């Protein structure tokens, strides 16, 4: 929650474009009102992540590079198409994380990175599996490795804490109280 609220405060102040008492105060009020009116009472809210600023920066930089590379690749596929470049394939990749946030960030990043696009996220008993659409020839093993590498980078930026995988998922899917053995932020 803290992460989210701070993010929101940053967004609010950024929108007004000036860091001053009025903007921060109104932002706090705004966020308080939002929490009251739209409480995230989903059990998911209890999932916490520890954010590592350095990891975030590293992830962001890498993401930007990936975006540039992928744009280049698509451009080549468009401008100078050949059989390899316009070949498509669908892979299923099982992630190791149990955090939906991590899974989502990974999935979104995949969409922005070279040659790949997440077409589905499947929740399995063991975690999340991504179905990825690849543009251009790819070798399955290294392809999976790339994605798991991406996941590691995301986890390094925001580490899920404290909640066993199955409990969280059970909580999400069946809306029951998850075991209280972790700290909630």
Partner 1 sequence: MSTVVDIATAALFLIGAALAVIAGVGLHRLGDTRSRMHAATKPATLGVLCCAVGAALQSDSSALVTKLLLAMALQLVTAPVGAHMLARSITRRDEQHPPTTS
Partner 2 sequence: MSRRSVILDEADRWLFPVIVMVSVYVTFRGHNAPGGGFAGGLITGCAFVLRFLAGNDLRIRRSVIARPDRLIGAGMLLAVATALSPVLLGDSLLESNIWKLQVPLIGEVKVVSSAIFDLGVYFLVIGVVLAILLALGTDPSEPVLEREAT
Return the structure tokens found at 105.
């960030």
Instruction: List binders of partner 2 among 7-26 (CB under 8 A).
Output: 7-8, 11-12, 15-16, 20-22, 25
Distance in Å, CB of 101 to partner 1, minimum: 12
Q: What's the CA gap between 130 and 144, in Å, rounded?
A: 10
Q: With binding defined as CB under 8 A, does residue 120 bind partner 1? A: yes
Instruction: List binders of partner 2 among 87-126 (CB under 8 A).
Output: 100-101, 103-104, 107-108, 118, 121-123
Letters for 51-90 (x = contact with partner 1 by CB under 8 A, - = none) are ------------x---xx-xx--xx-xxx-x----x-x-x
Please identify, using beta-carbon distances, which residue of 14 and 34 lies nearer to partner 1. 14
Letters for 44-73 (x = contact with partner 2 by CB under 8 A, - = none) are x-----------------------------
* b/e code 33-65 from CB counts within 10 Å (16+ = b): eeeeeeeeeebbebbbbeeeeebeeebeebbee
Which among 35, 46, 177 has a CA at the least distance from the CA of 99?
46
Distance in Å, CB of 105 to partner 2, minimum: 8
From the list partner 2, partner 1, none, pick the one residue 75 interacts with, judged by a Cβ distance below 5 to 8 Å according to partner type. partner 1
Q: How many CB atoms lie under 10 A from the CB of residue 105?
A: 21
Phi, psi of 160 (to 5 degrees): -70, 140
Which among 120, 109, 13 has a CA at the least distance from the CA of 69?
109
Burial zone of 28 (CB within 10 Å; 0-12 exposed, 13-18 middle, 19+ buried): middle
Distance in Å, CB of 181 to partner 1, minimum: 31
The stretch near partner 1 (CB under 8 A) out of 47-55, 91-99, 108-116, 157-165 is 108-116
Return the structure tokens found at 136.
């251009």
Please give the residue ranges that form the binding site for partner 2 (CB under 8 A). Answer: 4, 7-8, 11-12, 15-16, 20-22, 25, 30-31, 34, 36-40, 42, 44, 100-101, 103-104, 107-108, 118, 121-123, 128
């Amino acid at each position: 929650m803290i992460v989210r609220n701070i993010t929101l405060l940053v967004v609010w102040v950024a929108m007004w474009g000036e860091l001053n008492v009025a903007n921060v105060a109104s932002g706090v009020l705004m966020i308080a009102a939002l929490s009251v009116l739209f409480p995230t009472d989903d059990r998911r809210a209890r999932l916490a992540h520890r954010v590592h600023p350095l990891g975030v920066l590293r992830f962001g930089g890498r993401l930007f590079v990936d975006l540039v590379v992928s744009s280049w690749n698509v451009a080549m596929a468009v401008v100078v198409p050949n059989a390899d470049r316009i070949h498509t394939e669908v892979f299923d990749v099982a992630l190791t994380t149990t955090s939906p946030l991590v899974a989502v960030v990974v999935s979104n990043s995949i969409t922005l990175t070279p040659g790949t696009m997440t077409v589905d996220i499947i929740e399995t008993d063991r975690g999340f599996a991504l179905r990825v659409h690849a543009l251009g020839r790819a070798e399955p093993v290294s392809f999976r490795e790339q994605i798991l590498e991406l996941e590691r980078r995301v986890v390094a930026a925001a580490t899920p804490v404290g909640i066993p995988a199955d409990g969280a998922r059970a909580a999400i899917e069946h809306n029951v109280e998850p075991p209280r053995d972790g700290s909630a932020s």
